[in-house]
Structure 1
Amino acid sequence: MLRVAVVGSGPSGVFTAQALVQQQTVPGVTVDVLDRLPCPYGLVRYGVAPDHEKIKSLQNTLRTALEHPGVTFLGNVRVGEEPGALAPQRLLELYHAVVYCVGAAADRRLGIPGEDLPGSFSATEFVSWYSAHPDAAPRGFGLGARSAVVIGVGNVAVDVARLLARGADELRRTDVPDAALEALAGSRVTDVHMVGRRGPAQAKFTTKELRELGALTGVQALVRDEEAALDPAWADPSALPSAVRRNVEVLRGWAGQPEQEEGRRIRLRFFLRPVALLGDGAVEAVRFERTEPDGHGGVVGTGRHEEIAAQLVLRSVGYRGVPVPGLPFDVRNGTVPHVRGRVLRDGTPAPGEYVAGWIKRGPTGVIGTNRPCAKETVASLLADAEALLARRPSGDAQSALRAAGQEPVEWPGWLGIEAAEAALGQRLGRGTVKIPDWAGLLAAARDGR
């Protein structure tokens, strides 16, 4: 039988495992899905906003794949070259093939003065906090601020802007951890500025997520008509691709509205490039340079500047892959070099090593994009099956993990975590509530086991 390890249990990892056990080319494939966290599902659990229940329900699809008889989930497993971890070379001794689906864990930085002032955070830190990621620092994110700036105009920026503006009562029915819910309930933020350096037609959010901003109770979405009009397509978006046209039409509907004094406001700003975060000991404002279209889809600076007062800044300008110790890494692209998923070492495919997901192609696409990406990698792996089966794995992963001092969380342990989170929600008078810390997750896993 072909024994495969998949490192990472997010969508790309689960879709890879699913494709391997459902294919008909090589019979009897078994897959161990390894994850550093004791919980599966990756960004579906720890990246999708808690008020997006429909998207979060994708966990049910991923669950079906992980419960396949040919798939074994092993959480709380460290892969790398630090003491106690399983090194890539050791994995190759245990399996015929290893597929790395480790995503893109780092944030892109702005690279401007003041970026590290207190009150300035990456959007990923904020998302991890309200999503109960066990690595997230227990902080309140300066929600005593009156004005917040979100730098970026993608779906993650829309998520964090929406969570800042949404009332805590509406979040009470979600799985947001109790400490985060309490902090959001005490938030004093009244104005959220979501800022992009280019125009409305270049924004990366999707129309469904954008429309949600205008449907929030007690929240007004505002666009400056004279600012957005710098975009050549603003006056007549009919020639734009349909998805972009819908975005522009939604934004046009918010332009020029009289501002309401009561409630909260989300201000969508365009053609502003951040050049510095200002403040004496903490963020007090963001300085932007006004930009204008360059006629080729980009923008150029005008030399004119504007400052937006803010005591909280969330930077949402993209993700970046980080090196996996023991694997080659393309620093420029933040990916592992490959050809159709086959890892390249010194330009040559490395026998038995593969990649899928963001670490393969970069942080692009939506959750569903990972499925064809995984299938391409699996096709390469299956084409190599004869050569892979000529290798003779020695030992089993669980014994090797325990010999290294690791205690893997298997599927019954994860079910124990689910049960503990349901019980926690019941005690709090809510639905399921996530456990936000390592100690609590591992204790629940031990009880489940």
Structure 2
Amino acid sequence: GRPGADADDVVARVTLPRGVTHAPDAVVPGTDGCTADAGGREVLCRLGRLPAGTTRPVQLNVRVAGALDRSAEIRVTGAGAAETRASVRVVASSANLTPVWSGIGDLDVTEVGAPLLVCRYGAQVPCPSVHRPHDNNGLDMQPLDDAAPPGPRADVPVSSQTTLALPAGRPVVWAGLYWSGVRAPGDGWSAELGTARLRAPDGTWTDVRAPADAITRVDDSGRSYYPSAVDVTDVVARGGAGAWALADVAVADGRSDPEPTYYAGWSLVVVHGTQAADGASVTVHAGGAWIGRATAAPAFAFVAEAGTRARIGVVAWEGDRGSGDDRLSLSGVGALTPLRWDGTAVAGGGSRSNAFDSTATGWRYANALGVDAKGFEEVVLASDVGTLTPTTSADQYLIGVVTVRTVAPDGVSAP
């Protein structure tokens, strides 16, 4: 149209992503003149005449089915004006877990981890219990320091390492570092909650700092649990596969708990491959979902496509090897089967009735004494919204990360 001319019959066409629908009945009124098709994802807002040089704000109320990180596409047309296109990012949380990274392409995701406290029996550290179905609860949990960095240390020095395995030739697209610990009401912390030192396979140490607003959780006995998280994509992309180590995070500086449940540990979550317009969809959700005996289990909903193959992964803290009846159930599927220490689900595989059993892929022992970093057997989604429900009858644990990788039957994931 002519520069500076008025625009007539202006229409904004909004295509909402899967899992998001128009909500005209929301408490806060939306812009008049916006109507959706029967599916609720294609919305037309008829804005009428717009004088040259003016703007017209549009509020579109929507309903979100679950956690997602996708884009709404907008196309604006009008007589006397050039067509305009834009996109708006839509991010939604569920069960206190928020998408922190999402992508599509030739992508896969892996979780590895290790404890920072291990049991002691006499002079043996770790004690023989790391090989057997024993818990951190009641054991003499002591600092592990088997990858000690140079320079000043925390008040309670801790360090451990895990092995990150990546297929040859696949670049790191995204990586997140997570760590956690617990203290009793009478204990202090050995360091700042958001500080840590990360060592790459070539031996290079990097100081990392998580946001200062880390949230602690308190259980029914007054114990404080914290999760910390930081994006380490650049560091892991340079370092690649191999033995990674973490050192000197905050751990309990005492042992005052009359019913000890001490743990501390860490994990790397790594997405690898190449991004493209289609292929597998990978989303990493992070936060802190507390599952305890005295609280209702939070249901985590995520948006995908019915019929797609889905691989779920978790990072969780304080799960017990010896306690049963911890389940991670998916709507339309049932309880998921955890992969074992070596990443398999064959003989000696995980139990659906003990989903959070202290299995940390990459660590040198099968029992990680309070640290879970692993995947579950692939399943087929029964609907466009998958709901994960963690439950327990005796244990309590903190879920810090849920990863979701989906692939449609034809290999192309829908946006």
TM-score bucket of the superposed structures, by smaller chain = under 0.3
**TM-score, normalising length from structure 2?**
0.24
Higher strand share: 2
Higher helix share: 1
**TM-score, normalising length from structure 1?**
0.23
Structure ranking higher on relative contact order (CA contacts 8 Å, 6+ apart) = 1
